[in-house]
């Protein structure tokens, strides 16, 4: 049975960690849509284009190809940018890029195509509300700003990316604001999503909860068929 799972939520809520693990255990394809916005941001910066200049950034659309490999490698025009897209300079600009309608339409089109063939678990900000409004399971994963900042800080340090906790917390607050206030497909909880506050949950607890929700949905679908 083909299942689509949407996990949305604010920056650094642990969506990708959970989505990756659930995908591994259930044999689904994991699609990290944030990585696509990050790769586009990296490209603009590489080209020396100001990320706050919408017209100049959107003009780059025809020359950008982004590929997500199953092993987590992110390619932008066949250059491996997996590490670079996690750097604070990219994180600090990605919300501008993600607020541009033409860039969103360009990437959403690819995201929808990826979800056509296989069971997928896709994480982002607008998956349940806009990219896959008919997803079988919708999760809205949240956590306090402080918890999210510590998680992202630890993740960066473990990857050898230099940053301070204060820098990360400011970035998380700024992105929360921009992501939820943009005009087109802003971050919000879908009416039919299950909200999971993970502030006091371990990764394993969240993974098991998401799998439980998916299994309930599969049982319902089986009953209907």
Interacting residue ranges for ligand DC, rule: CB under 6 A: 11, 33-34, 37-38, 94-95, 98, 124-127, 175, 179
Nearest approach, Cβ of 78 to ligand DC (angstroms)?
21
Tokens encoding 124: 């982002």
25 membership: H or E segment, kind and range: helix 15-26
5 membership: H or E segment, kind and range: strand 4-8
Task: Give the residue with the Cβ less far from ligand DC, 174 or 218.
Answer: 174
| Greatest C-alpha distance within the chain | 55
3-state secondary structure (DSSP) of residue 133: coil
Task: Give the residue with the Cβ less far from ligand DC, 95 or 156.
Answer: 95
137 membership: H or E segment, kind and range: strand 137-142
Task: Give the residue with the Cβ less far from ligand DC, 162 or 225.
Answer: 162
Nearest approach, Cβ of 204 to ligand DC (angstroms)?
21
Nearest approach, Cβ of 176 to ligand DC (angstroms)?
9
177 membership: H or E segment, kind and range: helix 165-181
Backbone angles phi, psi at 105, to 5 degrees: -60, -40
Nearest approach, Cβ of 34 to ligand DC (angstroms)?
2
Task: Give the residue with the Cβ less far from ligand DC, 1 or 191.
Answer: 191
Query: CB–CB of 169/107 below 8 Å?
Result: no
3-state secondary structure (DSSP) of residue 10: coil
Task: Give the residue with the Cβ less far from ligand DC, 85 or 207.
Answer: 85
Residues in the chain: 225
Nearest approach, Cβ of 181 to ligand DC (angstroms)?
12
Task: Give the residue with the Cβ less far from ligand DC, 12 or 214.
Answer: 12
Query: CB–CB of 31/197 below 8 Å?
Result: no
Query: CB–CB of 193/9 below 8 Å?
Result: no
* DSSP state letter for 50: -
Nearest approach, Cβ of 199 to ligand DC (angstroms)?
18
């Amino acid at each position: 049975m083909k299942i689509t799972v949407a996990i949305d939520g604010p920056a650094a809520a642990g969506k990708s960690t959970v989505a990756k693990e659930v995908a591994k255990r259930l044999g689904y394809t994991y699609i990290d849509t944030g990585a696509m916005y990050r790769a586009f941001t990296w490209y603009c910066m590489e080209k020396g284009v100001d990320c706050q200049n919408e017209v100049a950034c959107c003009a780059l659309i025809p020359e950008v190809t982004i590929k997500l490999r199953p092993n987590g490698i992110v390619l932008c025009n066949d250059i491996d940018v997996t590490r670079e897209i996690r750097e604070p300079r990219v994180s600090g600009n990605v919300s501008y890029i993600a607020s541009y309608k033409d860039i969103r339409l360009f990437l959403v089109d690819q995201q929808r195509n990826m979800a056509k063939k296989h069971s997928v678990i896709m994480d982002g900000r607008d998956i349940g509300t806009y990219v896959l409004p008919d997803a079988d399971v919708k999760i809205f994963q949240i956590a306090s700003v402080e918890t999210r900042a510590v998680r992202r800080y630890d993740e960066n340090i473990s990857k050898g990316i230099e940053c301070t906790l204060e820098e990360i917390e400011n970035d998380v607050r700024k992105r929360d604001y921009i992501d939820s206030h943009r005009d087109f497909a802003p971050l919000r909880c879908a009416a039919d999503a299950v909200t999971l506050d993970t502030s006091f949950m371990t990764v394993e607890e969240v993974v098991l909860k998401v799998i439980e929700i998916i299994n309930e949905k599969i049982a319902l679908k089986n009953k209907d068929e």
